[in-house]
């Protein structure tokens, strides 16, 4: 979980550290002395760069896929909530009014309680209590007509889906990339940039530009992974727009 300022700071630090390492290496081990080892350094850099590119690309794809799944899950949860609100119209009083009131309260709690708490890596509890009250309301209903039986059956199906999507959302808000994978990404990036710095180039300006571009690309990839690694925290996160839209739908007659 990174803010935009932290991301920029990390990128600048990584690029500056890479260039300083290259300058220090040139002072300790001159470029002219390293030039005779370029053949060996070249194939090592090719192997490391290719391997690390595959790892970095796969990790970025994996976290972005997880982020997309979290967005879809939130949309499905909000849609299930609106369906429950609409289906409540087919239930008898007092269950109809109570279930619609609970549906509106669920949307309010999700927007004003769940999202701020998930942003702080906390597990929200108010929407869970409202969800439990919705179950009690539906299960306490004594059906009298075929229409009410159908409405209750469909409402129970949507409530089951709502509960499942909420549990999935909470799990997604607490999941993160394992530390061992972060070690692979960071150590791999350091080794790859260090290998690029070892190359004995005759033009130190061109070599510096290459190291700059290489380290910048790696730093951008790592910060992008860190930004979207946790779908509900940080500056890049899943929006609560689906529940705002659900609120508008439930206000419509």
Position 143 pLDDT exceeds 70? no
| Mean pLDDT (the chain, rounded) | 89
Q: Where are the domains of the chain?
A: 4-251
pLDDT tens digits, 13-69: 999 999 998 888 888 877 776 667 666 667 777 888 889 999 999 999 999 999 999
- Extract long-range pairs of 126-129: CB within 8 Å, 24+ residues apart: 127/166, 128/166
Confidence (pLDDT) at 101: 94
pLDDT tens digits, 188-235: 999 999 888 887 777 778 888 988 998 999 999 999 999 998 999 988
Task: Please state, in angstroms and rounded to a whole number, the distance separating the CA atoms of residues 245 and 110.
Answer: 12
Backbone angles phi, psi at 147, to 5 degrees: -65, -40
pTM of the model: 0.86
User: SS3 sequence, 31-49?
Assistant: HHHHHHHHHHHHHHHHHHH
Confidence (pLDDT) at 236: 87
Q: Which of 118, 82, 107, 92 is nearest to 237 (CA)?
A: 118
Confidence (pLDDT) at 54: 94
- CA quadruple 156, 241, 1, 212: dihedral sign: positive
pLDDT tens digits, 78-96: 999 999 999 999 888 888 9
Q: Which of 178, 191, 179 is nearest to 218 (CA)?
A: 191
């Amino acid at each position: 979980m990174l803010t935009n300022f932290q991301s920029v700071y990390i990128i600048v630090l990584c690029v500056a550290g890479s260039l300083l390492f290259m300058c220090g290496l040139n002072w300790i081990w001159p470029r002219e002395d390293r030039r005779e080892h370029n053949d060996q350094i070249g194939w090592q850099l090719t192997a490391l760069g290719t391997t690390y590119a595959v790892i970095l690309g796969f990790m970025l794809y994996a976290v972005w896929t997880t982020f997309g799944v979290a967005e879809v899950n939130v949309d499905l949860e909000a849609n299930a909530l609106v369906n429950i609100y609409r289906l409540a119209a087919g239930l008898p009083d007092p269950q109809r009014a109570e279930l619609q009131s609970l549906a509106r309260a669920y949307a309010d709690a999700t927007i004003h309680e769940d999202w701020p708490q998930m942003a702080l890596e906390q597990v929200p509890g108010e929407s869970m209590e409202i969800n439990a009250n919705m179950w009690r309301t539906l299960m306490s209903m004594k059906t009298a007509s075929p229409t009410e039986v159908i409405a209750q059956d469909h409402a129970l199906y949507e409530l089951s889906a709502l509960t499942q999507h909420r549990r999935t959302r909470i799990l997604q808000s607490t999941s993160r990339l394992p530390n061992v994978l972060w070690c692979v990404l960071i150590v791999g990036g350091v080794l790859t940039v260090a290998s690029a710095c070892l190359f004995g180039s005759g033009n130190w300006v061109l070599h510096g530009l290459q190291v700059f571009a290489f380290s910048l690309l790696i730093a951008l990839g790592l910060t992008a992974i860190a930004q979207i690694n946790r779908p509900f925290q940080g500056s890049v996160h899943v929006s609560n727009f689906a529940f705002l839209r659900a609120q508008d739908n439930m206000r419509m007659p």
